[in-house]
Amino acid sequence: MLGAARTAWDSRAWIQSSTPANTRRTTSAATLSTFTFTGLNSANYTTSLAEFGAGSLNVASSSQSIVYGSWSGPFPSGTGDFCIEGWVYKPAARGTATTGDAIVNNTSGGLGIRFGQGYNTGGFNYLSLFARGQADLDYVSFTWPSDTWCHWAVQRKSGVISFWANGNKLGPSGGSGGGARNFAAASSTDLTIGSYNNGGSSDETMKSYLDEICVSNSWRYDDTYSYYTVPTAAFTVDTITDMLIHFDSSMTTAAT
């Protein structure tokens, strides 16, 4: 007897195990300098919620955000590759009627990431790319879960924009222009997390919790796949990291 016959379950398990993983791309480790953001309207880290580590960013109220003034980089600009990603926890009470901005370089034409179709348009259940004060670009619809952490990423790789959330590449997308957009560089302007503005107003505030915000100057996920492996540990700084914020004990960020 050459061996037991393979059952239907065996075959199914073999097919699953042979599926290639689309894991997050990393490079060699690096050491970056430290900067500290300012919390507006009592925005701060909290230890009551976290996806990884001891804490997360609490910008759950309608006017909360954090800002670093006179930022001159690093931050993705020009027409090169990038990946901006993190984790979001949307409280059920937030609702989805209003949009929110995860992070934005507050200079004219600076790169920004929005949870919404366009500026104050479409509600929260989208993920999109925009050029600050100039253009709403590519977007995709996605129903963000409530009261749980969900990973998200916006990426440009060789002129192609892709959106990612909860293990899947999202699509099809709407809007256009992000693939070739020449984003303005940060030049002594404000870098804001959690809102469109830098003054702590209620304009496109996230009204959620954020964790593990990572800004990279290259791509992280292979966009030839329709899925990806959701990260299972806190990010670490490598040679393509522009900024990484854990929100574990302060509002500091590692940046070159």
pLDDT in tens, 183-240: 999 988 899 999 998 766 779 999 999 999 999 999 999 999 999 999 999 999 999 9
Whole-number Å distance between alpha carbons of 57 and 65: 9
What's the one-letter identity of residue 119? Y
Percent of the chain past pLDDT 90, that is, above it, reads: 82
pLDDT of residue 73: 83
Tokens 């309207």, residue located: 41
On whether the CB atoms of residues 59 and 208 are closer than 8 A, the answer is: yes
Residue 3 has pLDDT above 60, yes or no: no
Average pLDDT, the chain: 92
pLDDT of residue 246: 96
12 pLDDT tier (thresholds 50, 70, 90): very low
Domains of the chain, with CATH numbers?
37-255 (2.60.120.200)
pLDDT of residue 254: 86
Whole-number Å distance between alpha carbons of 177 and 32: 32
| C-alpha 158: how far from chain center | 19
pLDDT of residue 202: 79
Whole-number Å distance between alpha carbons of 77 and 94: 32
CA distances from 238 to 84, 85, 171 (A): 14, 15, 29
pLDDT of residue 133: 95
Residue 13 has pLDDT above 70, yes or no: no
pLDDT of residue 9: 42
Other Cβ atoms closer than 10 A to 154: 27
Of 16-20, 122-126, 145-149, minimum mean pLDDT range: 16-20
pLDDT of residue 253: 86
pLDDT of residue 256: 58
CA distances from 195 to 8, 11, 127, 165, 216 (A): 52, 49, 14, 20, 20
> What six digits make up the tokens of 62?
């309608």
pLDDT of residue 199: 67
Global pTM? Answer: 0.92
235-246 average pLDDT score: 97
Residue 6 has pLDDT above 60, yes or no: no
Residue 255 has pLDDT above 90, yes or no: no
pLDDT of residue 200: 65
Radius of gyration of the chain measured on its C-alpha atoms? 19
pLDDT of residue 10: 43
pLDDT of residue 169: 98
On whether the CB atoms of residues 78 and 110 are closer than 8 A, the answer is: no
**Secondary structure of the chain in the HEC alphabet?**
CCCCCCCHHHHHHHHHHHCCCCCCCCCCECCCEEEECEEECCCEEECCCCCCCCCEEEECCCCCEEEEEEECCCCCCECCCEEEEEEEEECHHHCCCCCEEEEEEECCCCEEEEECCECCECCCCEEEEEECCCEEEEEEECCCCECCEEEEEEEEECCEEEEEECCEEECCCECCCCCCCCECCCCCEEEEECCCCCCCCCCCCCCEEEEEEEEECCCCCCCCCCECCCCCCCCCCECCEEEEECCCCCCEEEEC
On whether the CB atoms of residues 195 and 65 are closer than 8 A, the answer is: yes
Most confident of 169-173, 175-179, 202-206: 175-179
pLDDT of residue 42: 92
Other Cβ atoms closer than 10 A to 222: 16
